[in-house]
Chain A
Amino acid sequence: MFGDASKLTVVLGASGRRSLLGAGLGSLAALSLASCGSEAPAPGQATKAPASAPGSAPTTSAPTVAPTAKPVLPLSLRLSWIKNTEFAGVFAAMEKGFYKDEGIDLTVNPSAQNLPEIQAVAGKTDTIGLSGGASLMLARAQGVPVKAFGAVFQKGPGCFLWQKKSGLNGIADFKGKKIGHQQTARASTEAMLTINNLKVEDVTLMPVGFDVQPLLTGQVDILTGLVTNQVISLEGAGESIGYVPYADLGFGFYWNTPFALDETISQKKDLLIAWTRATARGWEYAIRNPDETAKLVVEKYGDGLKLDNQLLQLKRETPLIQTDFTKQKGLLWMDRAVWQSGHDLLLNRTKQLEKALIIDDVMTLDILDKVGKIGA
C-alpha cells in the first residue's frame, strides 16, 4: 500500500494532460484479453464483420430522425478529460436542448489521468468516445475495432512552450537546449525535431511529468504541453510564455475526434448522425456565446474550476475548432488527407505503427456526409 502512496505523488505533480500520443495503450491489450471472457466481441484480430449483436441494444432502425415525437434514446459519451470547456459544445448542446431535439438522452462521463476513453468504448461502457487521432490509430493497429466519425479540434492543442525571458522564439532556436517531454511523447518529440531540420543530438531530451515545475525551476528550457492548458495556467500565474503548436510544425492530428465501434457505426448510424448534428450545433452556440457557455460549464459541470481560466481556454480553443476548412465544410468535419499524413508520420517518422493501416478502417465520412454543414 505504500507503493500506492508513491503513485499518488506521481500524478499530484501533474499540471496538464496525459501525453498526446499513445499514452496508456498498453492496457488495451489487456482489454482484448478481458473481453474474450465476456459477451463483448473480442477485438483481438480486427475483422470488419460486425459481431452479431449481443444482448438487445436499442437500435435506430427508423430511417429518418425527426425532431418530433420520437422515442428518446439513451446514449453515453466518454470524454477524454474532466468536464471543462474543452467540451463546451457538448454542454451547450445539452443545455440548449439540441440533443433532446434529436431524441437523445445524453449521459456524459468524464475521464482523467488514466485514459479510459478507448477502453470504455471498446468495452461498451460508453457508445461514443472522444480521443486523439493518433491514439485512435494506435488502438486500431492493436486490433481494437474503433473508428473516428468526426473531429472537434481541427488542430491539436499540443505545443512546445518556454519562458519568454529565455529569449527563445521558435523551434529554430532549440539547438543546444534542454527539452522536457512527457515520457510517452518521446517519439513524437523526436519526429518533430527531425521534420524541422534539427538533429536529436542537437538537443537534450529529458523525460518529465505533466508538471510545469521543471520549466519554472530551470531544469529544462522547453516543455511539451497544451496551448489550452499549461500556457494559460502559467500566464494566469503571471509568467510570460512563448509557444509553438505542433500543428504548425508539420505534426497534424485531429483532437477530440468522436469515435465508436465499427458495429455501432454500421448499426446505429442514424443515432450517430443525430448526435453529431446536435454536437456541431452545440459548438456553434458555444463559439458564439463564449461567456455564457464558460459560465455554464463552471457552474453546472466542472465544479471547482475557475471561470477566467475556462473562458480563456474556450477562446484559445476556438481557432483550433473553427478553421477555414470548417467554414467551408461545417464544424466537426475532417479531411481524409489529414488522417493519411498523420498515419504516415506514425508509420515512417515515429515508427509507432509497425505496419500501414487502411485509412478507411480508421475514419469514416459517412456520418458527416449526412450531418451537412453546421456553423459557418
Chain B
Amino acid sequence: MMGAGHPTERPTSRLAMRRAFGRAVLSVGGLAAILLAWEASVALWNIPLYVLPAPTVIAVQIERDWALLVRHLEPTLLEAVGGFVIGNLIATGLAAAFVYAPPLSRVLYPVAIGLRTIPLVAITPLLVVWLGNGYAPKIAIAALISFFPTLVNMSRGFAAPSADQLELMHSLAASQWQVFRLVRWPASLPYLFASLKIAATSSVLGAIVAEWIGADRGLGYLIVAATFEYRVARLWATIAVSTALALAAFLMVVAVERLAIPWRSEANE
C-alpha cells in the first residue's frame, strides 16, 4: 500500500535483495535438511507406515490424491479466509473503540478473554445449534480463533503513540480522526501484522477443527475420513496440504507487511 511505489528506488535495494536471497536459501535449505533426515531415519530404523511415513511416500500420495486434495482445499480455504477477515475486522474495530472509550474495554476485555479460553471442541456442537449447518459455524470458529490475538495486539498498538506525539497533535489542533489516521493507525501497524501472522495460520487450523463438527467437504473432513479408514499415507498427505495452506497464508501476510510498513519489516524479518 503506502510504500508500494518506492522500494526499487531505494539505494539499498540491491543489498536488501541479496540478503533476502540468502535468507530464502537458509529457510529452504533448513527444510530440505529436515526432510532428508526424516527420510533417512524412516529407512534406517525401518519405521512402519503407521508410526511415520517417509516424506517420499507422502509426496507420492499427494500426487496420487491431487484432485481430491484440491477439491477439499477449497471449502477450508473459504472458511479460513472468511473467519480471518471477519475476526480481524471485529477485533480491530473493538480495539479502536477501546482506545476512545476506556470503560468499554473494562467491560468487554474480560469477555473477550473468556471467549478465547472456551475449549473449541466443547463449543463447536453448540455453534451448529446457534448458526445452523453449512459454512457459518465453521467461519465463526475461524473468526473466533483469529479474533483474540488481534484484539490484544491492537489494543496495545492504538495506545502505542507516545504522550509527546499526542500532545503535538493536540497543539496542532488535529481532529480526533486526524490523530487516529496520522498517529495511532501507523503506530499500530507493526502490532497488527504481528497478530495477523498468528491469525493467518490459526484460522486455517480453526477451519479444520470446525469441520470435525461434521462436514462432507474440506481438509478437516478428509482427515476424519482418512483416519476412519486407517489410510495413513492419505492422512499425512492431507496434513501436508493443510500445513502448506497455513504456511502460504502466513507468507502472504508477510508479503503485505513488507509493502505496508517497509521501514519496520526490514529490520526483523
- Indicate which residue in B211, B224, B230 contacts A233 across the interface (CB closer than 8 Å): B230
Interface assignment of B125: CB less than 8 Å from any CB of chain A = yes
Contact assessment for B230 and A212 in the assembled complex, using a CB-CB cutoff below 8 Å: yes
Interface assignment of B35: CB less than 8 Å from any CB of chain A = no
Contact assessment for B227 and A14 in the assembled complex, using a CB-CB cutoff below 8 Å: yes
Contact assessment for B209 and A8 in the assembled complex, using a CB-CB cutoff below 8 Å: yes
Interface set, chain B 220-235, CB cutoff 8 A to A: 220-231, 234-235
Residues of B within 8 A of A12 (CB): 223, 227, 235, 239
State whether A82 and B221 are in contact (beta carbons under 8 Å apart), knowing that A234-B230, A305-B229 are contacts in the complex. yes
Q: Is the interface of B mostly helix, strand, loop or mixed?
A: helix
- Indicate which residue in B122, B205, B214 contacts A8 across the interface (CB closer than 8 Å): B205
Interface assignment of B51: CB less than 8 Å from any CB of chain A = yes
Interface assignment of B130: CB less than 8 Å from any CB of chain A = yes
Q: Is the interface of A mostly helix, strand, loop or mixed?
A: loop
Contact assessment for A34 and B126 in the assembled complex, using a CB-CB cutoff below 8 Å: yes
Interface assignment of A30: CB less than 8 Å from any CB of chain B = yes
Residues of A within 8 A of B230 (CB): 15, 212, 230, 233-234, 236-237
Most chain B CB atoms below 10 A, which of A26, A82, A304: A304
Interface set, chain B 222-258, CB cutoff 8 A to A: 222-231, 234-235, 239
Interface assignment of A115: CB less than 8 Å from any CB of chain B = yes
Q: Number of A residues contacting the other chain (C-beta, 8 Å)?
A: 59
Most chain A CB atoms below 10 A, which of B51, B71, B199, B212: B212
Per-position contact with B for A112-133: 1 when CB-CB < 8 Å, else 0?
Answer: 1111100110111100000000
Contact assessment for A123 and B129 in the assembled complex, using a CB-CB cutoff below 8 Å: yes
Query: In the complex, which residue of chain A has the Cβ closest to the Cβ of B127?
Result: A116
Contact assessment for A109 and B50 in the assembled complex, using a CB-CB cutoff below 8 Å: no
* Cα(A8)–Cα(B212), bound, Å: 10
Interface assignment of B89: CB less than 8 Å from any CB of chain A = no
Interface set, chain B 94-115, CB cutoff 8 A to A: none
Per-position contact with A for B114-145: 1 when CB-CB < 8 Å, else 0?
Answer: 00000011111110111011000000000001
State whether A110 and B214 are in contact (beta carbons under 8 Å apart), knowing that A4-B145, A4-B209, A303-B71 are contacts in the complex. yes
Q: How far is the CB of A197 from chain B (nearest CB, A)?
A: 33
Interface assignment of B259: CB less than 8 Å from any CB of chain A = no
Contact assessment for B228 and A84 in the assembled complex, using a CB-CB cutoff below 8 Å: yes
- Indicate which residue in A7, A35, A213, A217 contacts B120 across the interface (CB closer than 8 Å): A7
Q: Which residues of A contact B (CB under 8 A)?
A: 1, 4-5, 7-8, 11-17, 24, 26-27, 30-31, 34-35, 76, 78-79, 81-84, 109-116, 119-120, 122-125, 210-213, 216-217, 229-230, 233-234, 236-237, 301-306, 309
